[in-house]
A and B are shown apart, each in its own frame.
Chain A
Amino acid sequence: MVAITTQTAVTPEPPVLKVGIDLGTSRSSISAANGERHMVRSYVGWPRDMVARKVLRREVLVGIEALEKRPMLELRRPLERGLIKEGSARDEQAVREIVRRLLDLAVPQGRDPKPAIHAVVGVPAETLRVNRQNLRRILDGQIASTMIVSEPFAVAYGLDALVHTMVVDVGAGTTDLCILMGRFPTESDQRTLNVAGDAVDDHLHARIEERFPDASVSIHMARAWKEKYSFVGGGGPVVVDAPVNGRPTRIDITEPMRTACESLLEPLRETMLDLIARVEPEYQSRVRNNVILTGGSGLIRGLGAALQSSLGELGGGRVRVVKDPVFVGSDGGLTLANDVRDEDWRRLAGSRGTQ
């Protein structure tokens, strides 16, 4: 793979670095043509006051560091429900900071001149529908030429699964389902559900509070337990440590965990069956046998098997789980970026007038 390509022109132009970026609700990642691959948590925080600024000695913190130091920060998770809140300058700035951090990680420091970035940015389908124009404006100044696509499309492109395929991307804020039939997916090929990882966290947190009213459990603890122990169907026991009346105590959260994780099943099943039913009848069987489950919450133990079993209603099918969902979107974006012709990149940059 060519690391950094240099464009030949009459006037010297900076070298070009092609990248794929996955802007996710929970994690964002970058895959660059120079071999760099990085992930940051999609959290951005600004010091709450002068004291915090003095302690942190930074104007802004991004990623896991922001999450860890949240008591001192005004913390943002800018794509919280799969959308950038329109009109919220802070959320827009947060997206800018995440992209800046990703690019800083991917572009070798001290390289002069800095390469011009040609990026394919994968976003939740809802962001694509509502925020695309806004997102492009936010990325202005950091990226020379941008193509924005839906996350499931980037995933499918990277996996070369573009025909008779269904991608089910269970993220943190939204679940995106997309049918790939060898054409660029339109609105009717896609569905977005608000039931995803965050909803499971809320559900789990509520069930634990209900079952152990004296336990002191934060949503962050519930999320960490879910990431570690989540399952649907048979699983467990899940026993964790939580403070009860201030004392560290072992509590069994097997049932709350099962209930919370299984809350995903019914909406996913319904939407999958609905989308498949809209495919031309002669291709439905192929789509059923080519379902790709991805996204961080797609790794919930047993979820793939449960969805596969639900396809039995339609005559059976096969669900494959992407084992490393962290970079599958950005890798797909990079594959797409490499396939876009140079003149198309120039057109995409030129049409914005900011080349």
Chain B
Amino acid sequence: MSGRNLKRDLVEAAVRDNEVLDRRPGPHDDSNTGRVRRPRRISPWSLLLLLPVAAIAALGYLELNRPEPDPLPEVEVDGLLQTPEVRFTGPPEAVDPGVFPLPVERIVLDPGHGGSSPGTAAAGLTEKALALDIAYRLRNLLADRYRVAMTREADMNVALDRRTLIANRAGADVFVSIHVNWLPANRACGVETYYLGPTDDPELSALAERENSEAQGYSLGDLRRLLDGVYAQARQDDSRALATAIQHSLFGRLRAENPDLKDRGVKSAPFVVLIGAEMPAVLAEVSCLSDAGEVRRLRDESYLQSIAEALDAGIQSYAESRLLKAKLSGA
């Protein structure tokens, strides 16, 4: 029998199996044979005989429908909303990681702002809500290939140092912070991606200052110590590579929907949310609310999906380059 015929026969068998099921009135099921039995007329004498059976069945029914005790909470999580647990949504580790080396396995997404920090806002749209929406979409896209966690899954305050702490504790391989920009009136809308580093650009300093406004938890001394360490470390190269892959993908994909979009490039700036990260970390400004056209597009779910897909493709491109590097070094 050819494969096509076999499949057709199996599909027909599955349809028949379900059709037989559909025709079965519950109590007359014959689940072993799949046959449908016709309900019989019940005589009054039979009814008398059935009374005890009915009584037992009623008791059983009552037993089944007794209110069930509340399940006990299995873990107490103190301050749940303030300290979200990191749970990965992807599949568990594969059996033979050596055969399919995947240097990037865990990704932490950080939807910018949240709670009492709305970020930028225009015409009823807020940066915090857009970032969360895009992060959810991105998580769904990534979840079949990676273990993905988010620093917040609701409109809630999460301190900047807490965000990278979550990523560090999760052993993340990549940290992506999602933001929406606000540019001065004379600047065309564009996308830009940052990795942690010093900057001499006063405009970037101002942007960093704006995004760092929630930086509780770090003292000035902490920041200096962390920055000194981070700038010198090799992961800056990885962060730049990640930022480049994401920026390339963001601009390449979104320009198809907005021909006026500008490539504002890959830049370094001292964003606090990136400082504590022990893995390649970037901050992507995926759109700008200062541009009326972008505001209109951001109201369209398909555009938000495009942004998520562009981020997904950028992360994938970076992961594949890591994979290639791993293979080459292995060879």
Contacts and interface: CB of A to CB of B under 8 A. Distances in A.
B304 to A, nearest CB: 10
Contacts of B302: 108
B73 interface: yes
Contacts of B80: 68-69, 71-72
Interface string B62-104: 0011001011011111001100110111111111100010000
B140 interface: yes
B11 interface: yes
Nearest to B63: A87
B155 to A, nearest CB: 9
Contacts of A86: 64
Residue of A108, A136, A163, A299 contacting most chain B CB atoms (<10 Å): A299
B129 to A, nearest CB: 14
B1 A182 contact: yes
Contacts of A88: 64, 68
A227 B86 CA distance: 14
Contacts of B154: 65
A48 B70 contact: yes
A162 to B, nearest CB: 6
A74 B70 contact: yes
B150 to A, nearest CB: 9
A85 to B, nearest CB: 9
Interface stretch (B15-23, B173-181, B183-191, B202-210): B15-23
A133 interface: yes
A340 B140 contact: no
Contacts of B64: 86-88
Given A39-B144, A71-B77, A71-B80, A323 B6 contact: no
A301 to B, nearest CB: 5
B17 A184 contact: yes
A299 B94 contact: yes
Contacts of A303: 95
Interface stretch (A206-214, A310-318, A346-354): A346-354
Contact of A87 (B19, B61, B81, B84): B61
B144 A110 contact: no
B21 A182 contact: no
A184 B21 contact: no
Contacts of B7: 157, 162, 339
A228 interface: yes
B215 to A, nearest CB: 25
B15 A230 contact: no
A70 B76 CA distance: 9
Interface in A102-141: 105, 108-110, 129, 132-133, 136
Interface string A316-354: 000001011111000000001001110010011001100
B14 A110 contact: no
A75 B94 CA distance: 29
Nearest to A348: B18
B81 to A, nearest CB: 7
A105 B140 contact: yes
B219 interface: no
A301 B85 contact: no
Contacts, number: 144
A149 B65 CA distance: 28
B32 A336 contact: no
Contacts of B3: 160
Contacts of A105: 140
Interface residues of B, number: 57
A90 B68 contact: yes
Contacts of B65: 87
B121 interface: no
Contacts of B1: 182
Nearest to B22: A351
Interface of B is mostly: loop
B33 to A, nearest CB: 10
Contacts of A53: none
A296 B92 contact: yes
Contacts of B21: 132-133, 136, 148
A228 B92 contact: yes
A184 B91 CA distance: 29
B87 A68 contact: yes
A340 B9 CA distance: 11
Contacts of B17: 184
A323 B81 CA distance: 34
B187 to A, nearest CB: 31
B22 A301 contact: no
A304 B95 contact: yes
Central interface residue in B76, B90, B144, B145, by most chain A CB within 10 Å: B144
B301 to A, nearest CB: 6
- The interface centre, meaning the residue of B3, B61, B76, B94 with most chain A CB atoms within 10 A of its CB, is B94
B22 A149 contact: no
Contact of A344 (B15, B31, B76): B15
Interface string B226-265: 0000000000000000000000000000000000000000
Nearest to B31: A129
B179 to A, nearest CB: 23
Interface of A: 37-39, 41, 48, 55, 64-65, 67-72, 74-75, 86-88, 90, 105, 108-110, 129, 132-133, 136, 146-149, 153, 157, 160, 162-163, 182-184, 187, 218-221, 224, 227-228, 230, 296, 299-304, 321, 323-327, 336, 339-341, 344, 347-348, 351-352
Given A303-B95, A324-B144, 12 more contacts: A38-B140, A48-B70, A65-B154, A68-B80, A68-B87, A70-B74, A75-B71, A109-B301, A136-B22, A162-B6, A299-B92, A324-B91
13 contacts: A39-B143, A67-B87, A68-B77, A68-B87, A71-B73, A71-B75, A72-B80, A136-B22, A227-B88, A228-B92, A325-B91, A326-B90, A351-B23
List of 7 A-B pairs having minimum Cβ-Cβ separation, nearest first: A184-B13, A87-B64, A351-B22, A227-B92, A218-B75, A344-B15, A71-B73
